Structure 1
Amino acid sequence: MQNLNLLIKELISIPTETEWLEFKHNNFDPQMIGSDISALANSAAYRGKDKAYMIWGVNNETHEILGTDYNRFSKIINNQEIESWLKNTVSKNADFDFFDTEIDGKKLVVLIIQKATGQPVTFKKEPFIRIGSYTKSLRDYPSMEAQLWDKLRLVNFERQPSKSDLQKDEIFKLLDFTCYFDLQNISVPSNQDGILHYILEDEIVKKQDNGLYTITNLGAILFAKKISDFPSVSRKAVRVVQYEDETKLRILKEFNGTKGYAVGFEGLMGFLEALLPSEEVITETVRKTITKYPMVALREIIANALIHQDFTVSGSSPLVEIFQSRIEVTNPGVPLVDINRFIDNPPKSRNEILSSLMRRLKMCEELGSGWDRIALECELNHLPAPKIVLYEENTKVVLFSKLAFANIPHEEKLWSCYLHACIKYLTHEGLTNSSLRTRFGLEDTASAQISRLIKEAVLKELIKPFDFETSQRYMKYIPIWA
């Protein structure tokens, strides 16, 4: 009740009625209420609002609280209470509730209407929309109808509420914003209002119509101090499992993330680096620690798994599995880009808001360079190319440790050959026998082996000669799609 009265006071302070807000005194006409539920729900979706409101007991011009005689329980239509009648006459995607309250001894009735989802809300199979403070048939405004449909199709998980009706202090108890400012090299504001300015702009937090605050899924998944505090994302914490050998029979260590991705990412990478075998190499006066896997590539693979996961896949979260000679990183959802074009295609993500903010926070490479960097790091370390495996609802990337060329499975050799051609093409070069030998760390004596591999990659239509007229000795190859 307290929050409802706060909401009313915030709404009556708005200078005029809007497309998502309407005031009434004692007009209880059921037909009017039905068409307005449709219009307000659709207008809320059109204007990017989560809810719309109709309030009885307020003067629609002065916004003075007058009180109302409306008793929704006494209103009977076709032998039904008005609320039941309305639910039978509006479309199934309409979501609304009536509330009664008092302010200064005056009765008010509040109808809270959720925005339309999936399709426009209709009343008696007719969709309505608000034009200023008037309710009109949506079909009379085809341009608005088309725009509304576009908005209804684009539902962003990141913008959805994760925890609502929060006071300002509660936000700072639940979220950790240190990394938000540190990773962007921005000075931390000296007070909560200064911090709120930034996080409201990035829709990490939204201000509600009642003056309280909502933490969005974006804010929860990135900045939660305890991700378990947010049911909508609690099952999306990163899980790490280390096995004894190449099978899953015996688990050596298991770790379940407890923080938001941005808050816990560096700790996660540090934990993984400590788990992985490494050796110290001394070159002249420089002592350098080299891990079994290139950490730059592993970092990018994990960041990609976080960014590109499908949050609508329930009961599944990003998973890092460490075996004796490989690491598998699995995320819910399949890519929106052909896996054969990961390197050259512009990236496409179902979570563009999350993707953009994670890149600003430098949690992954700049736009478009991620897979180039992953493949190149594997080449520089003479590792097999990372393997991409698609399942019905999941994507798995496998990063292999160093293998002798003879021990690399034949399909992996062909895939490494293809990715090498892609990398060379993007740098305006071509794959050659020499460059591919270097890529695998082979001596000149392996020239014949590499020639056979290149020939098979051509036959399988992975690569093609750049110039068919060039002699075999100087032949260069490019990806088949180039």
Structure 2
Amino acid sequence: MPEDLIALITALAGRSSESECLEFKRGNADPERIGRDICAMSNSAALLGHTYAYKIWGIDDDSHEVAGTDFDPGTTTIGRQGLEIWLRQHLSDNVEFQFETVEMNGKHLVLLRIWPAQYRPALWNGLAYIRSGSSTQELKHGSRREEELWIRTRSEIFELQLAATELTTDEVFNLIDVDWYRQEFGIPPTTSPQQLLHMLASEQLIVTQDSGRHAITNLGALMFARNLETFPTVSRKALRVIRYEGTSSIAPSRSRTFSSGYSRLDDMLDYIETLLPEREVITGARRTTIRAFPHTALRELTANMLIHQDLSITGAGPMVCIFDGRIEFTNPGRSLVDVARLLNDPPHSRNEKMAALCRRMNLCEEAGSGWDKIVLDCESNHMPAPSIEEPGDNLRVTLLQATPFRDLTMQQRIDSAYWHACMQYAQRQPMTNASLRERFDLPSSAASQISRLLKVCLDGNILKVADPEAGKRYVRYLPSWA
């Protein structure tokens, strides 16, 4: 939405005093002073968690009345250079600012909007500056404030950046599915719009801007957007599901992009499962539908893919590709944990605020149990272990339909044995020849086949013997790292 600059300036002028992120001037357009102030206010905005800092020419700094100014950033030059170009040459490249002009009460005003420093402190001519109250001063190297500023700028959170700004209450409710939000959290339909706005803000799904209007965060858009395409910052993060004919990606037959927010996970899963093969079996007098892929594994993989993707990677989003006999889950971003230790290492969440919100909505557990459920579901249904790859900057997990042991490749057998060992270790249960036979749905007569597989795993340092002194009938196995 176009911003109402007059409403913004009026709101800012109504504040009781100047601050670290707000300054009024009638004149004093010295370029050096402007550069230092941009640097200092950018650092202060980052340190204090403000969306922007502002410097306004044409407002009296004592009375805050509209006085007007002769300053014109568009025509001001230093040597032969325009002011903005000159400022950018002397500021570090992590500083963003914008001059805007407006006529107010028949007088000329200039608004300088300054974004918070990102990734590291802002610099002016190689030096960092900071604000103390309404004064600009050099940031002392090694000081507590410098240390805290480094921490703040390094922890830039994509989820809390703004996806849409300058919105009225009605516009927020048109873009965010507040009815679904109320349903998920059990909020009465009689709740007032102002109370709803307060709740959305407390969840960091929206923020109130300096103008008094509202902005929707990337977190709010990703979780509760009515249509993700409305938000350019996250439009490419919509889940895409593609069904292919056969086993290659040459011939897609059906495709759907889910434009709704991730809180509609169940709708996504319902659609995915309609594309999967199933069969009916009759047990006694009852007819039972058996799906080729178990629901729990599908749910965990879809949720993990959405929640743990790297949101900073542009131009790519989560994707589910369904082929004959297999289904692939791909998301931007490599795993934060060694892929061989996904089941046993402590959990790491790339998008902590989204993960916490999804846990409260029972979309995930945020306790590291997702991979346990996936592997256990594969074992219970005698499917090959999930295949995990990291092509480029992506993570891809592949599920294969249940396959007889004789038709598995040696690598698939080894992977299944390894993940079975990890699962048994996590459950504090022994892995034995018998437990691995059960995992592959093999009779006791296949013990020699499993023994040969175990020897391959031992020789390849995939597994190790838990107690080398134990007799053959009592040998137990562990993952090699245990």
Q: TM-score range by the shorter chain?
A: over 0.9
Residues paired across the two proteins, number: 481
Please say which of residues 443-452 and 177-186 is displaced more in the overlay: 177-186
What 5-or-longer segments of structure 2 have no aligned partner? none
Q: CA deviation at 1:381?
A: 0.9
For 1:154, the aligned partner's letter is: S
For 1:340, the aligned partner's letter is: A
Distance 1:278 1:189 in 2: 43
Deviations 1:289-326 (A, max 9, x none): 32111011011111111112222333322121111111
- Inter-CA distance 342–187: structure 2 relative to 1 (3 Å threshold): farther
Q: CA deviation at 1:8?
A: 1.3
SS at match of 2:55: strand
Instruction: Report what 1:139 is aligned to.
Output: 140
Alignment pair present for 1:52 and 2:60: no
Q: What are the within-5 Å matches in structure 2 for residues 382-393 of structure 1?
A: 382-393=382-393
Instruction: Report what 1:125 is aligned to.
Output: 126
SS at match of 2:160: coil
For 1:219, the aligned partner's letter is: G
Instruction: Report what 1:364 is aligned to.
Output: 364
Instruction: Report what 2:263 is aligned to.
Output: 262
Q: What are the within-5 Å matches in structure 2 for residues 392-403 of structure 1?
A: 392-403=392-403
- Inter-CA distance 227–438: structure 2 relative to 1 (3 Å threshold): same
Deviations 1:30-63 (A, max 9, x none): 3322211110011111111221101123343443
Alignment pair present for 1:309 and 2:295: no
Instruction: Report what 1:443 is aligned to.
Output: 443
For 1:117, the aligned partner's letter is: Q
Alignment pair present for 1:421 and 2:421: yes
For 1:258, the aligned partner's letter is: S
Instruction: Report what 2:280 is aligned to.
Output: 280
Please say which of residues 371-380 and 425-434 is displaced more in the overlay: 425-434
Instruction: Report what 1:337 is aligned to.
Output: 337
Q: CA deviation at 1:81?
A: 4.8
Please say which of residues 28-37 and 417-426 is displaced more in the overlay: 28-37
Distance 1:82 1:383 in 2: 66
Distance 1:244 1:26 in 2: 69
Deviations 1:108-145 (A, max 9, x none): 32211122123322222221001222211013562211
- Inter-CA distance 394–469: structure 2 relative to 1 (3 Å threshold): same
SS at match of 1:481: coil
SS at match of 1:359: helix
Deviations 1:176-233 (A, max 9, x none): 1333333344445522222212211122111111111111221222212122111222
Distance 1:239 1:2 in 2: 33
TM-score relative to the length of structure 2: 0.93
For 2:154, the aligned partner's letter is: R
- Inter-CA distance 468–181: structure 2 relative to 1 (3 Å threshold): farther
- Inter-CA distance 469–113: structure 2 relative to 1 (3 Å threshold): same
What 5-or-longer segments of structure 1 have no aligned partner? none
Deviations 1:321-360 (A, max 9, x none): 1111111111122111100100011222322222222222
Q: CA deviation at 1:15?
A: 2.7
Contact map agreement 2:356 2:366 (CA 8 A) in 1 = no
Instruction: Report what 1:466 is aligned to.
Output: 466
Contact map agreement 2:59 2:68 (CA 8 A) in 1 = yes
Contact map agreement 2:355 2:366 (CA 8 A) in 1 = no
Distance 2:232 2:70 in 1: 40
SS at match of 1:123: coil
Instruction: Report what 1:208 is aligned to.
Output: 209
Distance 1:77 1:242 in 2: 60
Please say which of residues 304-313 and 54-63 is displaced more in the overlay: 54-63
Distance 1:59 1:99 in 2: 18
Distance 2:110 2:142 in 1: 31
For 1:181, the aligned partner's letter is: R
Please say which of residues 405-414 and 265-274 is displaced more in the overlay: 265-274
For 1:452, the aligned partner's letter is: R
TM-score relative to the length of structure 1: 0.93
Distance 1:328 1:79 in 2: 58
- Inter-CA distance 478–241: structure 2 relative to 1 (3 Å threshold): same
Q: CA deviation at 1:242?
A: 1.5
Contact map agreement 2:26 2:58 (CA 8 A) in 1 = yes
Contact map agreement 2:21 2:52 (CA 8 A) in 1 = yes
- Inter-CA distance 107–397: structure 2 relative to 1 (3 Å threshold): same
For 1:319, the aligned partner's letter is: M
Instruction: Report what 1:456 is aligned to.
Output: 456
Distance 1:239 1:75 in 2: 49
Please say which of residues 284-293 and 310-319 is displaced more in the overlay: 284-293
What RMSD over aligned residues (CA atoms) do the two structures have, in Å? 2.2
Q: What are the within-5 Å matches in structure 2 for residues 346-357 of structure 1?
A: 346-357=346-357
Distance 1:20 1:460 in 2: 61
Instruction: Report what 2:373 is aligned to.
Output: 373
Contact map agreement 2:129 2:137 (CA 8 A) in 1 = yes
Instruction: Report what 1:327 is aligned to.
Output: 327
Distance 2:277 2:154 in 1: 47
Q: CA deviation at 1:418?
A: 1.0
Instruction: Report what 1:245 is aligned to.
Output: 246
